[in-house]
Amino acid sequence: MTHKLLLLPGDGIGPEIVSQAERVIQTLGRTHGLSVELETALIGGAAYEAEGDPLPEQTLALAQASDAVLFGAVGGPQWDAIERDKRPERGLLRIRAGLDLFANLRPASLVPELAEASSLRPELVAGLDIMIVRELTGGIYFGQPREQGADRAFNTMVYSRSEIERIARRAFEIARLRDRRVCSVDKANVLEVSEFWRQTVTAVAADYPDVTLSHMYVDNAAMQLVRAPKQFDVIVTGNLFGDVLSDIAAMLTGSIGMLPSASLNEQSRGLYEPVHGSAPDIAGQDKANPLATILSLAMLLRYSLGETVMADAVERAVARVLADGLRTADLQSAGSTPVGTQAMGDAVIRALESASH
């Protein structure tokens, strides 16, 4: 069966890291018979420059017609002062809404070889395996009204019952495949929207008596992630809190350059992307870690294409290169020589090829 895949490299390091994932896709064609029809389209600042719109109609149409989308990153300082609707980040928000990708899965698990790269002591992160389930198409990133005036500005955090119910159900379903514990993170001591979130998640929990639900305020959750991260199994939370907590969780695993994500709709059609941004500070220098993007490809193979064997093979190849001691600069320990983006891609491809012989 031929799968239709859309690549959206975007800006900054996006093209460098997506091209490594593209090489992995081509390798899987040779080693595992993966059959894909690949298209590439513009998004973000690159699309704004070419078409005056960070999400051209044609890009959204191609995404809607694809089985899955692999996305790099968008944004950069050169676009920070243009009108907000034209900014690269708005292109990403619009494609998430356009494909109804309400469930953002951000797994933070530690590859044993990277325990030393974590900013926490190895014993605090050994065996770490957290799944952050972030609501992605609602909350304050999308709420109306919003306004930026000369003397004041505001955004609105809105959640409807149905939006909370569907992300809570997704979190409980995922917990059933894991340790059956869900921690819902909110700010219910201050925000009405969070109190409603908490009540709604609690009501949904009645349908999942085999899963234990707890609640935590977001400020405490940020602290607990750094104090004792292994206490968590599944975290379910809103758009803004999930954005922040997943960057914290990323660092526990050694580097933000390691964390993949899947953004799924009801039918598990998805867009897959590294958790990090476009890293303008290292763009174009062959320094970016491509592993979060390659691991996002593994999630794509698993969740949207049902190609479990290939997903496992990619994840094993990544573990293998790390076990062999390869580190990009973000993971480097004192005294060792970092490898570049391209060399890390080469190593993953070699590991895939040698495992298939």
Ligand X SMILES: NC(=O)C1=CN([C@@H]2O[C@H](COP(=O)(O)OP(=O)(O)OC[C@H]3O[C@@H](n4cnc5c(N)ncnc54)[C@H](O)[C@@H]3O)[C@@H](O)[C@H]2O)C=CC1
Ligand Y SMILES: CC(C)CC(=O)C(=O)O
DSSP 3-state assignment of 134?
strand
Helix (H) or strand (E) holding 161: helix 161-176
Site for ligand X in 242-281 (CB under 6 A): 256-257, 273, 276-281
Q: Which is nearer to Mg ion, 11 or 243 (CB)?
A: 243
Q: Is 84 labeled as ligand-binding?
A: yes
Q: Does 163 bind ligand Y (CB under 6 A)?
A: no
State yes or no: 288 annotated in a binding site: yes
Choose from Mg ion, ligand Y, ligand X, none: what does 288 bind? Cβ within 5-8 Å by kind: ligand X
89 binds ligand X (CB under 6 A): yes
Query: Which helix (H) or strand (E) covers residue 135, if one does?
Result: strand 129-135
Q: Considering the complex, state which of residue 89 and residue 113 has its C-beta at the smaller distance from ligand Y.
A: 89
Edge to edge, what strands does the sheet with 270-272 contain?
36-40, 3-10, 68-73, 270-272, 262-264, 103-109, 129-135, 234-237, 181-186, 212-217
Active site residue 187: yes
Residue 16 in the binding site for ligand X (CB under 6 A) = no
Q: Does 174 bind ligand Y (CB under 6 A)?
A: no
Query: Does residue 136 touch ligand X according to CB under 6 A?
Result: no
Question: Which residues share a beta bridge with 178?
Answer: none
Q: Which of 11, 53, 67, 141 is catalytic?
A: 141
- 159: phi then psi, degrees, rounded to nearest 5: -135, 130
Whats the size of the chain, residue-wise? Answer: 357
Q: Do 168 and 134 form a contact (C-beta atoms < 8 A)?
A: no
Stretch that binds ligand Y, among 57-65, 86-94, 154-162, 343-351 (CB under 6 A): 86-94
Give yes or no for residue 21 binding ligand X (CB under 6 A). no
> Nearer Cβ to ligand Y, position 93 or 235?
93
At 77, which amino acid appears? Answer: P
Size of the site for ligand Y (CB under 6 A): 5
Question: Quick one: tokens of 240?
Answer: 């803004």
Q: Which does 339 bind (CB under 5 to 8 A by kind): Mg ion, ligand Y, ligand X, none?
A: none
Determine which residue in the list 6, 17, 47, 92 makes contact with ligand Y, applying CB under 6 A. Answer: 92
Q: Is 243 in the site for Mg ion (CB under 5 A)?
A: yes
Find the catalytic residue in 186, 187, 303, 330. Answer: 187
Q: Is 151 annotated as a binding residue?
A: no
What is 232-259 written as a DSSP string? -SEEEE-HHHHHHHHHHHHHHTT-GGG-
Catalytic annotation present for 141 = yes
> Which window, 46-54, 119-127, 218-226, 239-247, contacts Mg ion (CB under 5 A)?
239-247
**DSSP characters for 164-226?**
HHHHHHHHHHHHHTTTSEEEEEE-TTT-HHHHHHHHHHHHHHTT-TTSEEEEEEHHHHHHHHH
Residue 76 beta carbon to ligand Y: minimum distance, rounded to whole angstroms: 11
Query: CA 36 to CA 30: how far, in whole Å?
Result: 12
- Which position among 47, 110, 282, 339 is part of the footprint of ligand X (CB under 6 A)? 282
Q: Which of 100, 129, 247, 346 is catalytic?
A: 247
Are the beta carbons of 259 and 246 closer than 8 angstroms? yes
Q: Which two tokens stand for residue 226?
A: 């750094």
Residues ≥6 apart with Cβ < 8 Å to 181: 175, 211, 212, 214, 232, 233, 234
Binding mask 258-287 for ligand Y (x = CB under 6 A): -----------------x------------
- What are the binding residues for Mg(2+)? 219, 243, 247
Q: Which residues bind Mg ion (CB under 5 A)?
A: 243
Q: Which residues bind ligand X (CB under 6 A)?
A: 13, 73-76, 89, 92, 256-257, 273, 276-282, 288-289, 292, 330
Q: Which residues bind ligand Y (CB under 6 A)?
A: 89, 92-93, 243, 275
- What are the binding residues for NAD(+)? 76-89, 277-289
Which positions are annotated as active-site residues?
141, 187, 219, 243, 247
